[in-house]
Amino acid sequence: MKKSLLLLLLPLIFPLLLSAQGSVHTTYSESYDRWDVKVGGSGTLQTTYNNSFDNWGISIAGVSGTIHTTYSASYDNWEISIGGKTYKLRTTYSNSYDNWELSGGDLKSSVKINTTYSNSYDNWNVDGPNGDFRITTTYNESYDNWNISGDFNNEEAGVKAAVAFIPVFVAAIYNKGLAK
């Protein structure tokens, strides 16, 4: 009896456990210019200008900054400025959006960010300097809501910003066909 009750409650409890660690979701359904983030603290990620996805403002746990493309209309090189430090987020291979590297700030080595499965943007792995993260869509091929597992307590603001930005990139830029 207890076992069957637990099995019935598991689908309700499991998503709560995942979302307790971290999440990224659109503030307004089907609108990709404003996001609520929870990565080691609550915050927002939003476009600086309406209908322009190359400049973003970010705030996480009271620390604010910007994320913008390094080159106009090129979505494979980004600069993240947050907490008084500057980071570079770029694709490992030109115009291939499933492998990224984060460097700069006080990072001793680059952080690798890549899709778990080839040609699938629903699941990502992040090899952080103080631990690994997993970024997954709540529902397959639905890019409005993402869950993040991992411990953000000892991570730099730049790592938190990059982990929050990858789902936003997939939904607002890659999925919309802006990155080619």
pLDDT in tens, 58-91: 999 999 999 999 986 689 999 999 999 999 999 9
On whether residue 119 sits in a domain, the answer given is: yes
Report pLDDT for 18. Answer: 40
Report pLDDT for 10. Answer: 46
On whether residue 62 sits in a domain, the answer given is: yes
Does 102 score more than 60 pLDDT?
Answer: yes
- The three-class DSSP label of residue 43 is strand
| Number of separate domains in the chain | 1
On whether residue 78 sits in a domain, the answer given is: yes
- The three-class DSSP label of residue 178 is coil
d(CA 122, CA 139): 8
Task: Supply the range of the domain harboring residue 51.
Answer: 2-174
On whether residue 85 sits in a domain, the answer given is: yes
- The three-class DSSP label of residue 11 is helix
On whether residue 87 sits in a domain, the answer given is: yes
CATH number reported for the structural domain that contains residue 84 in this entry:
2.40.160
Helices assigned H by DSSP within 22-106: none
Does 15 score more than 50 pLDDT?
Answer: no
On whether residue 180 sits in a domain, the answer given is: no
Beta-bridged to residue 145, according to DSSP, are 25
On whether residue 82 sits in a domain, the answer given is: yes
d(CA 36, CA 59): 10
Predicted TM-score (pTM) of this structure: 0.85
Per-residue pLDDT tens for 112-171?
999 999 888 999 999 999 999 999 999 988 899 999 999 998 899 999 999 999 999 999
On whether residue 179 sits in a domain, the answer given is: no
Report pLDDT for 2. Answer: 58
Q: Residue 120 to residues 97, 112, 123, 137: CA-CA distances in angstroms?
A: 11, 17, 7, 11
d(CA 113, CA 86): 18
Angle at 68 between CA 34 and CA 39, to 5 degrees: 50
What distance lies between CA 93 and its chain's CA centroid? Answer: 19
Helices assigned H by DSSP within 1-44: 2-21
